[in-house]
Chain A
Amino acid sequence: MNEKLAKNFAPGHSACAGCGFPAIIRAVLGEATDPVVVVNATGCMEVTSTLYPYTAWKVPYLHNAFENAAATVSGVERAYKALAKKGKIQKKIKFVAFGGDGGTYDIGLQALSGALERGHDFLYVCYDNGGYMNTGNQKSSATPYGAATETTPAGKDSFGKMTKRKNLMEIVNAHGIKYLAQANVAFLADLKQKAKKALETDGPSFLLVFQPCTNNWKFPTSDYVRLGKLATETNMWPLYEIENGNYVINYVPKEQRPIEEFLKGQGRFKHLAAPENKHVIAEMQQILNDDLARLMAKAKCE
């Protein structure tokens, strides 16, 4: 493997073929100009990168538990401050926490909120694959409306998940942090730019990164970039950033493609093709249009 790519995160981890988070780790950490310490919530990234006696991490790394990556990184960051103050550490060090959507939107939300409010100097990266994928595809509050998971299966009385996704960007933004952005593993240049800005931010910063899951969305491993691109091309996952409260949309598709194009080829949406579920696709499109309109109003776009 390219030495530069493997600088912080080695090959030989056991993530699924066609999984994007190794690319997310490399893109984000690759932008750091100072040494980095990583804290990781329990999840796919953690179990596939640290199987004892091996580790894929070439930077100092701490996994504590599922719901407490933000609280844990708070302690690491304050320890750094305490030891730097006493002259025991001279180097400048950056702190990055990674968590999946389960560990961030759901069980880790309180710890994240506390850490953001306290203003620790750290970057939190949530890789969002729309469910609890490490435990075999259960519904999280990031799972899209209409998606079938093992805990929201489609059936005679169900079209899959019957509630909308939680808007985590707005929740994080409500803490008044200086920089947060929504990115997508399929748009690496954009992700890198955002990681650079986030790492340069003084105080807490946040990245929400779209991460297609080949295993549980049920699509061929070669398709993750294509599906990631479609999420943004359909405006299901717009790329934008909020800097000091100002919204900027970073990419506007030339023509908005219908949500069906994103749904097609994913096993988790297969049931939506049934005639009785046709309304779900229309509702998904409506949810997406409403969310986009709200975002554009905030970004003062037409």
Chain B
Amino acid sequence: MTKKQTRLALTGGAAAAEALKHIDPDVMAVYPITPQTTIIETYAKFKADGEVTTEVIEVESEHSAISACVGASAAGARTVTATSSQGLALMHEILYIASGLRLPILLIDSARALAAPLNIHGDHSDVMGARDAGWIQIFSENGQEAYDNTIIGLKLAEKVKLPVMVIMDGFNTSHTVENLQVLDRETVQKFLGEYTPEHSLLNVDDPVTYGALALQNTYFEFKIAQAEAMQQAFADYKKVVHDYDKISGRFYDYFETYRLDEAERVIVIMGSTAGTAKDVVDRLREQGEKVGLVKINLFRPFPHAELAGVLSHVKSVAVLERAMSIGTYPPLYTEIVNTISHIEKNRPAVSSYIYSLGGREIYGKDIEKVFDDLAKGHISREIKYIGSK
């Protein structure tokens, strides 16, 4: 049954911190970086005011933040951290260890561009650099989703025994105040339940060795087991989001479809720009244009088969994303091309657009132009840069 909720005006960062307050994790290891600091500063005040019981470790780098998380999680503690950009890049080595050790750590990323040149503004370069690290990755469009995904992400992590990265757009979401609804501590605690790991370093009566050396004869199977767990995450994600819907009235599928009924031209997108793009879809629909949108929520594991079912009815697809993969096509486009290959007949044409790197503005008219390109058949293998000079 949906619970009574409180309406608050919060930035995306504060919304994530609010969710963390309701989670009240055992351990949080943090290191400051813009634009993530709104999360840890808000949380530090909760701690100072006695609203949470979490042991907060103010470490001396992001590398140590995620390292301390590995220690805390292996010790059986419900464990979280938050970062951005260079911080996530510095964590890179240990991201693979966290997933390889099957530790259900929750990481909130305020997605930001990577240097050089130095840039503190939003794009998805940081999280795309971590897409093969064995972490579940969930994208949020706005502060409401940042709040909800924080709770969903932790529940999912503990269910499937994989670390989860919840992503919001740096500044666009992390620093923008929105009206949103929040649950209460009791409801969130009940939803999550007690965390009781199968093994723990602190169970001294049943000593376990974590982080063993596995050579040619055993390493491969560990990695296959991780891949299988990631496949299992599809079903677990569904279960978690359905349960979350029951308490919140908000449901997040693998992806959101927006006005896809009889849509011929479709934009696939992730994160905050989906809001602007939906406005454009509404406007064009009023003019009788058959346009629609798909917003990806779950990027790892990537729901190819389900998405293929949806895209099999459309004529053309434009993939819009905030990251590059220099030397080849960008990450989301590559996933969509793979998705299209699941379609037997009448595959839609797909076009690649990169936008808003380093926080460059994107407007409704830019998105209209994308739909216009699709209408005019301006579809090629060329990567197009929206708003570049």
Binding site for B on A (CB under 8 A): 35-37, 39-40, 46-47, 50-53, 55, 57-65, 67-68, 71-83, 85-86, 89, 91, 93, 110-111, 113-114, 117-118
Whether A57 lies near B207 (C-beta < 8 A) is yes
Interface string of B58-79 (1 = CB under 8 A from A): 1111011101111111111101
CA distance A51 to B212 in the complex (A): 6
User: Hey, which chain A residues are within 8 Å of B211, CB to CB?
Assistant: 40, 46, 50, 61-64
A67 to chain B, nearest CB (A): 7
Whether B204 lies near A67 (C-beta < 8 A) is no
Whether A75 lies near B204 (C-beta < 8 A) is no
Whether B71 lies near A73 (C-beta < 8 A) is yes
Q: A35-B204, A58-B207, A59-B204 are in contact. Are A67 and B53 (CB under 8 A)?
A: no
CA distance A40 to B210 in the complex (A): 10
B361 beta carbon closer than 8 Å to chain A: no
Name B97's contact: one of A57, A65, A74 (CB within 8 Å).
Answer: A65
Q: Which 5 pairs of residues, A with B, have the shortest CB-CB distance? A: A75-B71, A114-B60, A75-B68, A63-B211, A79-B77
Q: Give 27 CB contacts A-B under 8 Å.
A: A37-B202, A40-B211, A51-B212, A61-B208, A62-B210, A64-B94, A65-B93, A67-B63, A72-B71, A73-B71, A74-B67, A75-B27, A75-B75, A76-B72, A77-B71, A78-B27, A78-B55, A78-B72, A79-B27, A79-B79, A80-B75, A82-B54, A83-B76, A91-B204, A111-B61, A114-B61, A118-B57
Binding site for A on B (CB under 8 A): 26-27, 29, 53-55, 57-61, 63-65, 67-77, 79, 93-94, 97, 201-204, 207-215, 218
Whether A81 lies near B57 (C-beta < 8 A) is no
User: Hey, which chain A residues are within 8 Å of B58, CB to CB?
Assistant: 118
Whether B209 lies near A61 (C-beta < 8 A) is yes
User: Hey, which chain A residues are within 8 Å of B97, CB to CB?
Assistant: 64-65
Whether A37 lies near B55 (C-beta < 8 A) is no
User: Hey, which chain A residues are within 8 Å of B27, CB to CB?
Assistant: 75, 78-79, 82
Whether A78 lies near B57 (C-beta < 8 A) is yes
User: Hey, which chain B residues are within 8 Å of A68, CB to CB?
Assistant: 63-64, 67, 94
13 additional A-B pairs beyond A46-B211, A64-B97, A118-B59, beta carbons within 8 Å, are A37-B204, A40-B211, A52-B215, A57-B209, A61-B211, A71-B63, A72-B68, A72-B71, A75-B69, A79-B72, A79-B77, A83-B76, A85-B53
